[in-house]
Amino acid sequence: MTRWTTEVRRDRGVYTALAGWWDNQPVTRELPFMNSHILSCWEDGFDEAASRLHVRLLYRDGDLVAALPLYRSAGRLRTPSRAHSYSIDVVAVDDDEVRAHLPKWLDEIAIAHLYRFREDSPLVAAVADRPRWSVPSVLRCPYVDLSGGLDQARSHMSTGFLKDLRRRRRRLEELGAVTYVDHAAPAEIESVLQEGWRLEVAGWKGRQGVATLSVPTTERWYRSVAETAEDQGWLRLSSLYLDDRMLAYSFDLEYGQRRFGLNSSYDESEDVARLSPGNLLFESILEQSAVRALKTYELSFAGGAWKYDWTSRERLVYDLLIFGSGPLGRVLSRARRTKARRVG
């Protein structure tokens, strides 16, 4: 008979300690935000005060077979997530018995918020069979398919959009020398980040108080990820210049033959904003990604109808709210349903 046991790790350095197993699982080879190096960035501080690391590990007959990165805050367990952290999933070995056991394993938890789980996750599939599990929200993540090359990707874009891009690039080139940098040199990374973030502050993100430099936890997060990604060879820090003036920048990760857009900004000054420098930079990024034979460019779920000018393809990511089968989980689930009926 199979013996299942659980361990909870709260010690700093847990992801580094488990990296040999963690980073060789299927999900961590596909999703950058499940890699132990990126998860370690969370150990430098969480968004909520007084939060605590809570990494849940599953063993089968003494062998580690699954893990779920969590932290505890305000009495609830949550998976780490950011506006641009893309989809995640439970880390598990490629084994049918383990996948079947995962929902039962999480039923041991009284309550947990699982954010941004990819659509083919075994936990998303389990919601239909668990009345105390629910999906508070579903987010759409557009992506550009580059597997057939750039020409095929462009064949899915409107001719009017592509013609407009060419026109805007010609007009920009009439103003001066236009330069595209696919990745800043290591010594220039800090200055490129600062210049890109200053563009954010000067634009709509700054006015709404959501620019990177406006939120200390966000700035700390991106700095940690940039340093880690550069060390691992994943960082792609791209920019578009008119003479010596930065017009647009993009902070991406290249991972698992895919490119993931994390953070971007463009110059919203009246003289250049009309020429769509952000779109022109993105066009150059797609061209370089195709040269590097990447499979996709992942555009994330955070805002922007402009993304659908580039593609009609998208993935779904799910936020899950789970209540366990134990006494406390049942009580909390009933209380939530009662509150929902009263509000309704």
120-151: pLDDT as tens digits? 999 999 999 999 999 999 999 999 999 999 99
Helices first, then strands: H and E counts in the chain: 14, 13
Residue 169 sits in a domain whose CATH number is 3.40.630.30
* Total tally of structural domains belonging to the chain: 2
More confident residue, 189 or 217: 189
Secondary structure (3-state) at 9: strand
Establish if 260 belongs to a structural domain: yes
The DSSP string of 37-98 is: HHHGGGGG--SSTT-EEEEEEEEETTEEEEEEEEEEETTEEE----TT---B--EE-S-HHH
| Token digits of residue 74 | 């305000």
Name the pTM for this structure.
Answer: 0.92
> What's the confidence (pLDDT) of residue 83?
67
Q: Per residue in 63-117, pLDDT tens?
A: 999 999 999 888 889 998 876 677 899 999 999 999 999 999 999 999 999 999 9
> Are residues 329 and 246 part of one domain?
no
Establish if 306 belongs to a structural domain: no
> What's the confidence (pLDDT) of residue 77?
93
pLDDT bucket at 47, cuts 50 / 70 / 90 = low
> Are residues 190 and 126 part of one domain?
no
Give dist(CA 133, CA 127) in Å, integer: 6
Establish if 10 belongs to a structural domain: yes
> Are residues 220 and 117 part of one domain?
no
Q: Per residue in 221-255, pLDDT tens?
A: 899 999 999 999 999 999 999 999 999 999 999 99
Average pLDDT, the chain: 92
- Proportion of the chain in helix, strand, coil states, percent, rounded to 5: 40, 30, 30
Distances, alpha carbon 134 to alpha carbons 111, 127, 203, 338, in Å? 11, 6, 37, 15
Residue 339 sits in a domain whose CATH number is 3.40.630
127: containing domain: 4-140+316-343
CB 177 within 8 A of CB 242: yes
Establish if 307 belongs to a structural domain: no
Secondary structure (3-state) at 324: coil
The DSSP string of 117-174 is: EETT-HHHHHGGG-TTEEEEEEEEEEEEE-TT-HHHHHTTS-HHHHHHHHHHHHHHHT
> Are residues 173 and 109 part of one domain?
no
Establish if 299 belongs to a structural domain: no
> Are residues 265 and 178 part of one domain?
yes
Burial of residue 219 (number of CB atoms within 10 Å: 0-12, 13-18, 19+): middle
pLDDT bucket at 5, cuts 50 / 70 / 90 = very high
CB 58 within 8 A of CB 6: yes
Establish if 305 belongs to a structural domain: no
Give dist(CA 321, CA 203) in Å, integer: 35
> Are residues 165 and 111 part of one domain?
no
Establish if 166 belongs to a structural domain: yes
| Token digits of residue 298 | 């992942």
Please identify which residue in the block is written with the tokens 């350095």. 13
Rounded (5°) CA angle 280-281-285: 120
> Are residues 320 and 184 part of one domain?
no
> What's the confidence (pLDDT) of residue 75?
80
> Are residues 18 and 115 part of one domain?
yes
Question: Per-residue pLDDT for 295 more than 90?
Answer: yes
Phi, psi angle pair for 94, to nearest 5° = -80, 90
Q: Which of 106-110, 199-203, 334-338 has the lowest mean pLDDT?
A: 334-338
> What's the confidence (pLDDT) of residue 46?
61
> Are residues 323 and 216 part of one domain?
no
Establish if 301 belongs to a structural domain: no
Residues near 126 by Cβ (< 8 Å), separated by ≥ 6? 102, 103, 133
> What's the confidence (pLDDT) of residue 48?
66
Give dist(CA 67, CA 93) in Å, integer: 10
> Are residues 43 and 64 part of one domain?
yes
Give dist(CA 100, CA 297) in Å, integer: 32
> Are residues 114 and 73 part of one domain?
yes
| Token digits of residue 89 | 């999933």
Give dist(CA 191, CA 182) in Å, integer: 15
Beta carbons within 10 angstroms of residue 322's beta carbon: 23
> Are residues 196 and 86 part of one domain?
no
CB 230 within 8 A of CB 247: no
Q: Which of 45-49, 179-183, 252-256, 285-289 has the lowest mean pLDDT?
A: 45-49
Question: Per-residue pLDDT for 340 more than 90?
Answer: no
